[in-house]
Amino acid sequence: MTARLASGDLHIPPDRIRAVCGPDSTLSAFEDAWNARVDETEGASLFSRPFFQKAIDAAFPATPPVSPIAAYREGALVGWLPLHRLAAPLGLKETGFARNAHTLRNHLLTEDPAVLAALLGAWRDHTDADTLVLENLPLSEALAASLTSAARQTGLLIDRPTRGRSLAFAGLPSTYEAFLATRSGQFRRQIQKRLRQLESAGRFRVDRLAGDDLARAVPKWQGVVARSWQGRDRTVRGGNSSADWQLHRALSANGCLWLAQLDDQPVAALRMLEDRKAAYVHTMHYDQALRAHAPGLVVFDAMMRDACARGLPRVDFNGSSDFFSRWATGTTPHMSIRLYRASLRGRGARLVRFVSRRLRAGPGTIPDAADTPETRPRQPE
């Protein structure tokens, strides 16, 4: 069953799943249930929580807006699909999770085929989109199989999942000394060497800023970004636009900003978000002129030391570069899945994508978007 939410009250019969398509202002009435669902769902993160999703919606508004979809069973939230308009070729209408530098971890908050069918049915009935793109989901064979089953049940076409990026993380022991003991001696010496270099270069300090202090430090943070390699490289997309800074200001009540200063000049900034599950690297920049002194490494060391001292279970990184690999104890792989309305436009979009991927793959190969029996919609009996 799908419906548009008209009030803050839901009366759902036991054992029934109801998908609700409504504006954020109405769905906000269920924030406690939403947060509880994130807490209890393995692999779900802060980036699926209401405060982050609302901040993303405000900073990167969809035009025209698309209502999110929530699934409930017995009044409890059991699935969630925030929707944004995505850029698409050939006049197609495409929706999915917000696509920007801040949405590296997405989650549907369920792997239940019945719940997923309710979400997909609501998308089919209450949006005008031709395609639905589910990017950066945790890699899961169970979820992929459930989505395929739900797509067939709702008459949608679905591609096979494609492997996405892997994001590194560090599981934390009870003390920082215990964590460092798992790193190489060379790595530990490198941290101390860089710290001594910075202390010898002038008055060096690292501050942990939160709340109002964080908000007041935004201009210094912006200065670091402007002098970083990301800020100087015009090919780097995202991270320093007015929308990005609107998002950062909206999130200033969460987590902290680690700011390193040399002679009162900011030289490195590490923005961390946090919930009860983990601390999350959101952005990280350092002054390119001080690259030889590695101020980013020293700031990261201070953050990791603090996370252990406060008993956080893990720190999630926003990449898997060599830098993060030196700190990591594991990685979280992700996947993306694309679905299509079984209309002329939807089928055409899928065919174009299939041909394009086959051409890129070369002769004698079959791309993941192959129209196999498993990915066709169920035919009426």
Model pLDDT, residue 73: 86
Max intra-chain CA distance, the chain: 78
Range(s) within the chain of domains with CATH label 3.40.630.30: 2-164+333-375, 187-306
Long-range contacts of 321-327 (CB under 8 A, 24+ apart): 323/296, 323/297, 324/168, 325/168, 326/183, 326/187, 327/168, 327/170, 327/183, 327/300
With cut-offs at 50, 70 and 90, classify the pLDDT of residue 72.
confident
Among the residue ranges 35-44, 71-80, 324-333, the one predicted with the least confidence is 71-80
Model pLDDT, residue 64: 75
- Does residue 305 register a pLDDT over 70? yes
Average pLDDT over residues 148-164: 96
Model pLDDT, residue 169: 98
By C-alpha distance, which of 35, 211, 18, 38 is closest to 117?
Answer: 18
Helix, strand, coil % (nearest 5) of the chain? 40, 25, 35
Model pLDDT, residue 112: 96
Q: What single-letter DSSP state applies at residue 361? A: H
Find out whether 157 and 130 touch, Cβ atoms under 8 Å: no
Model pLDDT, residue 362: 65
Share the mean pLDDT of the chain: 87
With cut-offs at 50, 70 and 90, classify the pLDDT of residue 374.
very low
With cut-offs at 50, 70 and 90, classify the pLDDT of residue 10.
very low
Find out whether 83 and 69 touch, Cβ atoms under 8 Å: yes
Model pLDDT, residue 238: 58
Residues in the chain: 381
pTM: 0.87
- Strand-pairing partners, residue 256, are 272
By C-alpha distance, which of 356, 367, 336, 348 is closest to 90?
Answer: 348
CATH-assigned architecture of domain 187-306: 3-Layer(aba) Sandwich (3.40)
Model pLDDT, residue 28: 64
Q: What single-letter DSSP state applies at residue 164? A: E
Average pLDDT over residues 4-18: 49
- Does residue 376 register a pLDDT over 50? no
By C-alpha distance, which of 133, 85, 134 is closest to 111?
Answer: 134
With cut-offs at 50, 70 and 90, classify the pLDDT of residue 316.
very high
User: What are the E-state strand segments in the chain?
Assistant: 2-4, 17-21, 69-73, 76-81, 84-86, 94-96, 131-138, 157-158, 162-171, 204-209, 256-262, 265-274, 279-286, 314-316, 330-340
Residue percentage of the chain with pLDDT more than 90: 70
Q: How many helices (H) and strands (E) does the chain have?
A: 14, 15
Average pLDDT over residues 350-368: 70
With cut-offs at 50, 70 and 90, classify the pLDDT of residue 237.
low
Average pLDDT over residues 100-106: 93
- Strand-pairing partners, residue 19, are 2, 71
Model pLDDT, residue 234: 61
Rounded Cα distance between 347 and 353, Å, is 10
Cα 172 off chain centre by: 21
Average pLDDT over residues 167-185: 97
Exposure string over 319-352, b if 16+ CB within 10 A, otherwise e: ebeebbebbbeeebebbbbbbbbbeebbeebbee
Would you list the DSSP string of 88-119? -STT--EEES--STT-S----S---HHHHHHH
Rounded Cα distance between 380 and 41, Å, is 34
With cut-offs at 50, 70 and 90, classify the pLDDT of residue 226.
very high
Rounded Cα distance between 264 and 283, Å, is 21
Find out whether 80 and 40 touch, Cβ atoms under 8 Å: no
With cut-offs at 50, 70 and 90, classify the pLDDT of residue 230.
confident
Find out whether 5 and 21 touch, Cβ atoms under 8 Å: yes
362 SS3 class: coil
With cut-offs at 50, 70 and 90, classify the pLDDT of residue 91.
confident
- Does residue 25 register a pLDDT over 60? no
262-293 pLDDT, tens digit per residue, is 999 999 999 999 999 999 999 999 999 999 99
Residue percentage of the chain with pLDDT more than 70: 87
Average pLDDT over residues 319-345: 96
Quote the radius of gyration of the chain (alpha carbons, Å). Answer: 23
Higher pLDDT among residues 213 and 361, named by residue: 213
Model pLDDT, residue 15: 55
With cut-offs at 50, 70 and 90, classify the pLDDT of residue 354.
confident
Model pLDDT, residue 88: 86
Average pLDDT over residues 1-13: 38
Average pLDDT over residues 159-182: 96
Model pLDDT, residue 157: 97
Among the residue ranges 61-75, 117-131, 204-218, the one predicted with the least confidence is 61-75
Angstrom distances, CA of residue 80 to CA of 12, 121, 363: 17, 13, 40
- Please give the CATH topology (third level) of the domain spanning 2-164+333-375: Aminopeptidase (3.40.630)
- Does residue 8 register a pLDDT over 60? no
